[in-house]
Amino acid sequence: MPVFLPVIFPNLPSMIKTFVNISLLCVAIMSFTGCYYDVEDELYPDNNASCDTTAVNFAVVKPIFDAKCVGCHGGASPSAGIKLDTYTDAKVYLDASASRLVSSVKHDGNASNMPQGQPKLDACDISKISAWVSAGYPEN
Ligand code: HEC
């Protein structure tokens, strides 16, 4: 920084040069950290303002299960005997172990982390599943 400034502003008094140097350094740092810390999901993992968790029914969680779970928890030989492909199938497991399903997607240590071998679901999907189970996993 001090090396190239005299090239841009050859006649500036040295105090001003120092001030300009520090300002440029601040702007550089702020532009890096600004981009990183503005990731909303990381700042507010459980309080995502754009995540609608009101009136969550099976139609809302089914696309999440279909995309992330049914590959293993569906069909003729589902993993751990847990089927999530239809409402009736999901209800069988939830009636017995609803809290384990929520724990598994939250990775809170009270059940195996799901989806197995894959990254955690995004915060909004976890909030939706959690809200659905808390509401008594309504079908409609
Ligand atoms: C790659 C295959 C795979 C995927 C994808 C997967 N699971 Fe599983 N799941 C398993 C296997 C295998 C087990 C049994 C072994 C274990 O508990 O780790 C299991 C167990 C579970 C259990 C019981 C955990 C316990 O500790 O009692 C729950 C609940 C569960 N899965 C829910 C889900 C949900 C919800 C999703 C989607 C978000 C999902 N799984 C995605 C393979 C998978």
Give residue-wise pLDDT tens across range 31-41. 666 555 565 55
Q: In terms of residue numbers, what domain contains 30? A: 5-38
**Distance of CA 108 to CAs 85, 104, 114, Å?**
24, 7, 11
pLDDT at 99: 97
Ligand 1 contact, 71 CB (< 6 A): yes
One domain, residues 97 and 62: yes
One domain, residues 73 and 56: yes
pLDDT at 18: 72
One domain, residues 28 and 78: no
Tell me, yes or no, whether 82 lies in a domain.
yes
Residue with tokens 């309504």: 138
One domain, residues 63 and 21: no
Tens-place pLDDT, residues 54-99: 999 999 999 999 999 999 999 999 999 999 999 999 999 999 999 9
pTM: 0.74
One domain, residues 33 and 58: no
Ligand 1 contact, 101 CB (< 6 A): yes
Tell me, yes or no, whether 130 lies in a domain.
yes
pLDDT at 68: 98
Tell me, yes or no, whether 76 lies in a domain.
yes
Torsion of CA 13, 16, 17, 19, to 10 degrees: 160
Q: Measuring from atom 26 of ligand 1, which residue has the nearest CA? A: 111
Q: How far is the CA of 124 from the centre of ligand 1 (A)?
A: 19
Tell me, yes or no, whether 139 lies in a domain.
no
Rounded Cα–Cα distance for residues 38 and 138 (Å): 35
Tell me, yes or no, whether 59 lies in a domain.
yes
pLDDT at 77: 96
pLDDT at 92: 97
Q: Tell which one of 84, 114, 132 to mutate to probe ligand 1, the residue whose CB is within 8 A of the most ligand atoms.
A: 114
One domain, residues 60 and 84: yes
Q: What angle do CA 34, 35, 39 make, to 5 degrees?
A: 105
One domain, residues 85 and 23: no
Tell me, yes or no, whether 140 lies in a domain.
no
User: How many independent structural domains does the chain possess?
Assistant: 2
Other beta carbons within 10 Å of 84: 23
pLDDT band at 118 (very low <50, low <70, confident <90, very high): very high
Comparing CA positions, the residue from 76, 63, 58 lying closest to residue 138 is 58
**How far from chain centre, in Å, is Cα 34?**
19
